[in-house]
Amino acid sequence: MDSISIKDKPIVEMSITALRKALRLGELHPLEIYEAYMDKISLLNPVINAYTHLSNKLETDDIRDLPLSNIPIGIKDIFDVKGYPTTAGSQFLHYNPSTNASAVSVLTQNGAMVLGKTNTHEFAMGTTTINPHFGTTTNPWDSKRIAGGSSGGSAAAVGANMALVGLGSDTAGSTRIPAAFCGVIGLKPTYDQISCQGMIPLSWSLDHVGLLTRTVEDMQHVYSVFGTKSSKSYSLTPKTLRVGIIWDSISHLLDPVTNRAMINFVEQMQTLNIKTASYEFPLWEETMTCGFVISRIEAAAYHHKWLEEIPNQYGEDVRILLKTAQGLSGVEYVQAQRMRSMVIQKYEQIFESVDFLITPTVSVIAPLITDPVDRRVLTQFTMPFDVAGIPVVSIPVWASGSNLPVGIQIATKWNHELSLLKFARSIEEQLKSQSQNFPI
């Protein structure tokens, strides 16, 4: 990457490393980056609808050598950003925060350039980003298909070169699902590794901040600014590496394209001579049930007043979800939290035997916007890692004969994000070397 000249790629296709080098050498000015991205947004946003609120000027042309100096970012509209309204994709919530959310502050203090607020499924309560108030975010690979959700706007912006970095959230897969559908990298760190302060909650005990980039190398740059003192790394060699693959037990749930992509991926893994073993999702049904109960009851608690006073101002799908949640009991909530403790213990046992777990991110390719979407189908492989609170990253792969991306997610033990990204980058490089379709 360091050898790339500004003349070799359009600005909107350059990596973080390349942009920083060009700025440092005086080959680029921050205004050129800003204008290139705003031109791309002007061209594509009318179709993709990734952004709901846009920057109207370059905030600073400072070219200090900060880790993310002038790196363009789109921020999901559940995070407070000074100078932008916070709506959470809703019809009735609209306030102008005086301060940034914690995650936004970290990014901007390290030099990131905010391009705008991105579309989200209303109150982050869905997997499609079909929003009745701000419109549908479409997939950058096929505008007839969903981008996924709830961080669909951020993922689509990154996938369509309308942002280099996207900020999202992940409670049941809201970063990784759209990452898989939009062909980008989606990271959900360990629970509470990145502060959710200043973010509209969906479920306090399950919410994670999520990050989206085009490459794992870029993700390493972005994640490094979040004070990773508690993140650990261990030595990785093919001889000592132990990888569990969750596939055989779930292959019957995969559509043909996703299954072909998984077959290709496992074959490529074998060329690395890494020791692998088959695993199943531990307490899978119980995990999905407790995740559903916890997230719904906590969401109903947050929305209680509005749901009583202005229920008809919610979109139909969100209103039905919240009304259903009101029928759940405190006993069910306590039982779900107890089950969650058992799920965490099971993953602790698994990570005594393996360093990483690999699964498909979603069982299907991005559905058509006009097709009904089963929320459980899209979250069945992502929710378990939110319940367990372990770090996981989704990387894109392709199946032969398909022009739509598929996501493969890699999980590891708590607070080992550095090792996770190091391993994911080695896999990404392997995929890139073997496939002309890999979008790097």
Q: Half-sphere exposure of 309 toward its Cβ, with a 13 Å CA cutoff?
A: 5
Q: Using an 8 Å Cβ cutoff, are 72 and 51 in contact?
A: no
pLDDT for the residue numbered 229: 57
When mean pLDDT is compared across 50-59, 237-246, 295-304, the lowest value belongs to 237-246
15 lies in some domain: yes
Q: Using an 8 Å Cβ cutoff, are 176 and 212 in contact?
A: no
Q: Using an 8 Å Cβ cutoff, are 290 and 384 in contact?
A: no
2 lies in some domain: no
Q: Using an 8 Å Cβ cutoff, are 190 and 136 in contact?
A: no
Radius of gyration of the chain (CA): 20
Q: Is 44 helix (H, G, I), strand (E, B) or coil?
A: helix
pLDDT for the residue numbered 272: 77
pLDDT for the residue numbered 61: 77
24 lies in some domain: yes
6 lies in some domain: no
Percentage, residues of the chain above pLDDT 90: 86
Report whether pLDDT(438) > 70: no
Identify the residue with better confidence: 435 or 343: 343
Q: What is the mean pLDDT of residues 182-204?
A: 97
Residues 40-74: tens digit of each pLDDT: 999 999 999 999 999 999 988 777 889 999 999 99
CATH assignment at residue 77 = 3.90.1300.10
Beta strands in 39-129 (DSSP E): 51-54, 72-76, 113-118
pLDDT for the residue numbered 59: 85
pLDDT for the residue numbered 172: 98
Phi then psi dihedrals of residue 213, to 5 deg: -145, 175
Show the tokens assigned to 331.
Answer: 């006993």
1 lies in some domain: no
Count CB atoms within 10 A of the CB of residue 105. Answer: 17
Q: What is the mean pLDDT of residues 134-158?
A: 98
Contacts of 200 (CB under 8 A, 6+ apart): 78, 79, 86, 88, 93, 123, 124
Average confidence score pLDDT of the chain: 93
pLDDT for the residue numbered 309: 97
pTM above 0.85, yes or no: yes
**Reported confidence tier of residue 4, pLDDT bands at 50, 70, 90:** very low
Classify each residue of 279-298 as buried b or exposed e, where b means 16 or more C-beta atoms within 10 Å of its C-beta.
bebbbbebbbbbbbbbbbbb
User: Number of helices (H) and strands (E), helices first, in the chain?
Assistant: 13, 15
358 lies in some domain: yes
Report whether pLDDT(5) > 80: no
Cα dihedral 412, 414, 418, 421 sign: positive
Q: What is the mean pLDDT of residues 250-261?
A: 96
CA 100 – CA 199 distance, rounded (Å):
9
Residues 103-145: tens digit of each pLDDT: 999 999 999 999 999 999 999 999 999 999 999 999 999 999 9
Classify each residue of 157-180 as buried b or exposed e, where b means 16 or more C-beta atoms within 10 Å of its C-beta.
bbbbbbbbbbbbbbbbbbbbbbbb
397 lies in some domain: yes
Q: What is the mean pLDDT of residues 307-317?
A: 97
Contacts of 285 (CB under 8 A, 6+ apart): none
Q: Using an 8 Å Cβ cutoff, are 296 and 172 in contact?
A: no
3 lies in some domain: no
pLDDT for the residue numbered 228: 66
Give the pairing of strands 113-118 and 51-54: antiparallel
- Residue 303's domain comprises 11-434
Our count of domains for the chain comes to 1
Report whether pLDDT(436) > 50: no
Amino acid at site 314: Y
